[in-house]
Structure 1
Amino acid sequence: MVGTFYSRPSPDEPEFVSVGTQVEIGTPVCIIEVTKLFTTIESTKAGTVKAILAEDGQLVDYGQALFVID
């Protein structure tokens, strides 16, 4: 299913994470919107965000990599 990637909880708030951010398992990293249902996506891995592979407002697919965390 295709959804829309959002890097921040709302337009006036900071991004959940940026390159260099340390994350733990369960850290919120983005929101995906599908048919007006907003789902917070949490990191499944601990480490440092090395890259963000989607842009704010971009359509993304199920299973698509959104971040590089090492």
Structure 2
Amino acid sequence: AAIPAVKEKLNVLKEVVEDYEEQLNYSSDPDARVGHKSADSSFFGFKTHIAMNDERIITAAVVTTGEKSDGKYLKELV
């Protein structure tokens, strides 16, 4: 039972590496970075941090590289 579990984890690792390499080819922008939406989901590029009012109108925005965390920009957005 241990061997199939190891093979499955190796396959997941291979997929992550292939996805990462593929994402690196999406942009030649030297400022773009790999960010994470979750532990299992990543992207290559930038993040847009936004603030909206009750009517869902964007009242402020900050663009950062993909690896920046969202919480850090709350004060600036408010």
Normalization by structure 2: what TM-score? 0.22
If each structure's helix is expressed as a fraction of its own residues, which one has the higher value?
2
If each structure's strand is expressed as a fraction of its own residues, which one has the higher value?
1
Normalization by structure 1: what TM-score? 0.23
Structure of larger gyration radius: 2
